[in-house]
Amino acid sequence: MNEHSPDVALRKADAGDRIAAAALFARAFKRDPLIAAATDSAHDPRAARDSIFRASIAGTLLAGGELVLAERAGALIGVALIADPQGGTPLRAVRASIARLVSGVRFVMLSRRLAPGALRLLNDADLASRTLGPAAPHHVLVAVGVDEAARGLGVGRMLVERAVDHARRDPRSWGVRLETENPLNVERYARWGFVTRGVARLDRVDVHVMGHPTRFEVMDGEVQ
């Protein structure tokens, strides 16, 4: 287990950080099975990846989510995108509805930059993640990326723990849900307290949906 590097600091992103954050995500997810399937045969794969994460960041923040940066000596080395629960309060429900509408429009507009069938694949993966996730309101770790040069410093774990702590402080949140299409990540997230809730087998990728509860989950009158 890697210890956290003492000279790595986390902070909430400002509006001016979004472009750099999307670019880091695009680099970090270059070999991710889902993102690769959606962009590798595009006219400009790098620009396609960048567009996906710009749209994801914009939609998540519009719904009240958080973009967290990891920096070392002032340089950006990691980033996490955390979505707020979509229910629990009327305000959250309204924000989530507006954000889904805006995000849908954004992704339709960028579909011409993606590989054929990419928009459907991304939508199917998102639907699978929602279906296998907890019924109770919860946070979502939309994405976490670490610069290749900063691997091994514990940055990824710091960012994941930030998401879990964020959910733990919210009394209305069940915990954190995430999805990964990379089988190598499943064991890593399991070591960090996540449990596999199910696997959806899509056309070109397997979507592993995992959850980290921070509250007892009550379903059908039973504590899970």
Q: Is the pLDDT assigned to residue 29 strictly greater than 80?
A: yes
| 206: nearest Cα among 139, 105, 121 | 121
Which CATH architecture is the domain 8-223 placed in?
3-Layer(aba) Sandwich (3.40)
To the nearest whole number, what is the mean pLDDT of the chain? 87
What local confidence, expressed as pLDDT, does residue 13 receive? 98
Q: Is the pLDDT assigned to residue 219 strictly greater than 70?
A: no
Q: What mean pLDDT is predicted for residues 163-189?
A: 95
Distance, CA of 155 to CA of 96 (rounded, Å) = 29
Q: What mean pLDDT is predicted for residues 188-194?
A: 97
Q: Is the pLDDT assigned to residue 106 strictly greater than 80?
A: no
The domain spans of the chain are 8-223
Q: Provide the token pair at 28.
A: 């970090």
pLDDT tens digits for 127-142?
999 999 999 999 999 9
